[in-house]
Amino acid sequence: HREDPTVVLGFNRETGEQVLGGQGELHLNLVKWRLEHEQKLEPVFGSPKVPYRETIRRSAEASYRHKKQTGGAGQFAEVHLRIEPWSEGMPAPEGVNVRGMDEHDLTTGGKLVFCNAIVGGVIDNKFLPSILKGIMEKMERGPLTGSPARDIRVTVYDGKMHTVDSNDVSFKIAGTMAFKDAFAQADPQLMEPVQEIEVRVPEDLMGDVMTDLQGRRSIIMGIEGQGRFQVIKAHTPLAELDRYSTTLRSLTQGRGTYSERFHAYQPVPGDLQARLVNGHREEEAVA
């Protein structure tokens, strides 16, 4: 890094990877060569992992009773909750008396909206933060691929407690497990980051570039002329842009350029979601 200040080394907490950044693929290939031949290191390189997200497509309800009896005081908590896909401006939860609603901005993007609809004191208010904590911890690793969950509304509407055996730990566990059960029933959906890209190519080579972009699941948003060049604007999944600069260079004899920036998270197609989920399960089984 002292020899080349354009090299950036960072750690991605979400994926657990050391990430090496540079000015492009050619630059990174040179850095790799120098590490191997000048520094005599044997680093293992791969493409950065795609930061997927998980959410739900419909509402579901679940309950969980946590009960544990040991020699002394036991553990007891029961939580009933409903989860729904959250969107800005959606109406209040139906069929319950909402006494409190909190919006939580998640560090990985999106929101968790937590509604208290407990009536009659069946769960003491002091245990609600523990239920919320259990849910938020579960959202850090969703059930599909272990990716963070987002944009979900949770309404806790019923439950039970014990005057002696109920405590924060018990309600955290009950909240976690009820949320996990509800999530599995709520038609879980994997979301992927989609990039907004602009590709500048010579007019006579645009056909090959367009064909390649469409093969990368791109949605073409527009094309505009710039002299002898055409600028293609498209929305393309980040997963499909791995080593794209090398492909573009090959397709345009080195005359094409592109830029990208994050656009939005969008649903992964069903067949691809199934492959990604199966791949994650196989990795988990090996681990």
Segments making up each domain of the chain, as ranges: 1-49, 54-186, 190-270
pLDDT at 89: 92
Same fold yes or no, 1-49 and 190-270: yes
Closest Cα to residue 117, out of 161, 69, 82?
Answer: 82
The DSSP 8-state label assigned to residue 203 in this structure reads G
Between 3.20.20.80, 3.30.230.10, 3.40.640.10, 3.40.50.2000, what CATH number should domain 54-186 receive? 3.30.230.10
The fold for domain 190-270 equals: Alpha-Beta Plaits (3.30.70)
pLDDT tens sequence across 131-164 = 999 999 999 999 899 999 999 999 999 999 998 8
pLDDT beneath 70: ranges in the chain: 1-2, 12, 14-15, 24, 287
Coil, strand, or helix at residue 225? strand
pLDDT at 34: 79
DSSP string, 2-28: -S-TT-EEEEETTTTEEEEE-SSHHHH
Q: How distant is the alpha carbon of residue 101 from its chain centre?
A: 24
Coil, strand, or helix at residue 32? helix
pLDDT at 2: 59
Distances (CA, A) of 3 to 10, 30, 46, 136: 17, 13, 23, 43
What is the CATH code for 1-49? 3.30.70.870
pLDDT at 229: 95
**Continuous segment of H or E residues that includes residue 78:** strand 75-85
